Amino acid sequence: MTTRNCTVPARHAAAGPERESLARRPALASALLVRLAEWTHRARARAELRRLSDRALSDIGLSRSHVEREAAKPFWRP
């Protein structure tokens, strides 16, 4: 019986780091989805505040100028 010297092809030699990268992808995708949901919520909340009347804003303790400053921010900025 003879034994053959079996070497790992080069494309499989980097499987360790590649697998690690693949393992992080679901976490990255999940974090991205969370961030997109935050941005969407923030943009909708600002638009909703902008639609409120001055009376409604007064009832919740906000001024029109405060709402306009908040609504003018980009969606990604808290």
Tens-place pLDDT, residues 10-60:
555 555 666 666 667 888 999 999 999 999 999 999 999 999 999 999 999
Q: Which two tokens stand for residue 69?
A: 């400053």
In our burial notation (b when 16+ CB lie closer than 10 A, e otherwise), range 10-38 reads eeeeeeeeeeeeeeeeeeeeeeeeeeeee
Tell me the C-alpha distance between 72 and 65, whole Å.
Answer: 11
Predicted pLDDT of residue 16:
60
Q: Which two tokens stand for residue 61?
A: 């303790």
42 neighbors 75 (Cβ within 8 angstroms)? yes
Q: Is the pTM of this model over 0.75?
A: no
